[in-house]
A and B are shown apart, each in its own frame.
Chain A
Amino acid sequence: MVAFAGLLIYGSLDLPYRGDADNLMHSQRSITDTVVAGNYFIQEAYNDANTPNMVTVVLGDYRSIDTLGEQVVVFTAGLICLLILRRYRPI
């Protein structure tokens, strides 16, 4: 386990600095010259949905189908609890 931790820490040495605003994830254009998603969300969220909170806009508007699937997952988890713990027949 210590060796595994050492391997992961060795791999993390090449990661970008935390909070560095210049790395590729936060830059304006990606390497293939397309708009990076996070920056598009920051710039256009208020114009698209009239809502100041960007996380809500991303959750409810841009990624709404993802949120629907995730709500179905939560609902299914509740149904699984119901079906496991309710006893219909003696074992």
Chain B
Amino acid sequence: MTIWREVKIMYDFLLGHYSYWLTIILLCIGLYGIIFKKNLVKKTIGLTILQASVVLYWVSLGSKWGATVPVLDPAYPASDVANYLNPLPHTLMLTAIVVGVATLGVAFALLIATYNRYKTLDEDEILEQIQ
């Protein structure tokens, strides 16, 4: 019986933490793209993956078991806070996504300007042409 209790504790721990680990892996993929890739477009894709990982992390922090979306439903009274998810991380990430799209537009505009000037998007070749 004690073995099954240990297994249950382990299972609960895994169930409570696997989403954090997935977002950490996603963050490391994005960081790898930013640091080690030479192409500027691939760096931008890595930046987007990193931002998506941060958004997923916040949303997974705001979740509760057995709760519904934060839209008021007369079947679930609002006086019991366990009925609804925390609306604050959703709002913050909503604004973060829109700002991310806008900064992605700025990044691609800069990339187009760079390509028009240097005719390449590789980092080393741009550095050679500058020197």
Contacts and interface: CB of A to CB of B under 8 A. Distances in A.
A and B touching (Cβ–Cβ under 8 A): yes
A61 to B, nearest CB: 11
Interface in A44-90: 45-46, 52-55, 58-59, 63, 66-67, 70, 73-74, 77-78, 80-81, 84-85
Contacts, number: 134
Nearest to B112: A85
Interface residues of A, number: 45
B64 A19 contact: yes
A20 interface: yes
B72 A45 contact: yes
A63 B102 CA distance: 20
Contacts of A73: 99, 102
B51 to A, nearest CB: 15
Contacts of B64: 19-21, 26
B81 A84 contact: no
B98 A4 contact: no
Contacts of A77: 102-103, 105-106
Given A37-B88, A55-B90, 6 more contacts: A9-B21, A17-B16, A38-B81, A41-B87, A73-B102, A74-B98
Interface of A: 1-2, 4-5, 8-9, 12-13, 15-21, 25-26, 28, 37-39, 41-43, 45-46, 52-55, 58-59, 63, 66-67, 70, 73-74, 77-78, 80-81, 84-85, 91
29 contacts: A1-B28, A1-B35, A9-B24, A17-B15, A17-B17, A18-B20, A19-B64, A21-B64, A25-B62, A38-B87, A41-B87, A42-B70, A42-B86, A43-B78, A43-B81, A45-B72, A45-B78, A52-B72, A52-B73, A53-B72, A59-B94, A70-B99, A77-B102, A81-B105, A81-B109, A84-B109, A85-B109, A85-B112, A91-B117
